Structure 1
C-alpha cells in the first residue's frame, strides 16, 4: 500500500509549527538566562527568618 503524497497545507503548517517551537524555546532560554543571572548576582539574598516574623 503506497503512502499518499503530503498535501501542501501540511508542509506550510509544519513550517509554522517549527517556527513557533523555536520561538518558544528561545523564550524559555531567555527566562532561564535572566533567572540564572539574577540568582548568581551577589545582590541576591534569601530573606532571613527574623525578617519574616516581624
Structure 2
C-alpha cells in the first residue's frame, strides 16, 4: 500500500463518523419531539375537515 492511502482512509473514516453522529442526533431530536407531542396529548391526526366550521359557530 502507498503511505498516502492510509491518510485517505483515515479522512473517510473521520467523515463517516461525523456524519453518523449528525444522523444519530437528528434521529434523537425527532424521537424527542415525538415523545413530547404524545405526552402532551397533541392531536396528531391529519385534519380532514378543511373548510368546515365547527358546530355552533355560524
* TM-score (normalizing by structure 1): 0.74
Higher helix content, 1 or 2: 1
Q: Identify the structure with bigger relative contact order (alpha carbons < 8 Å, sequence gap 6+).
A: 1
Question: Size of the alignment, in residue pairs?
Answer: 47
Consecutive unaligned residues of structure 1, counting only runs of 5 or more, are: 1-5
| Equivalent residue, structure 1, for 2:4 | 9
Unaligned runs of 5+ in 2: 52-58
Kindly report the root-mean-square deviation, in angstroms, between the aligned alpha carbons of the 2 structures: 1.5
Give me the TM-score of the superposition, normalised by structure 2. Answer: 0.69
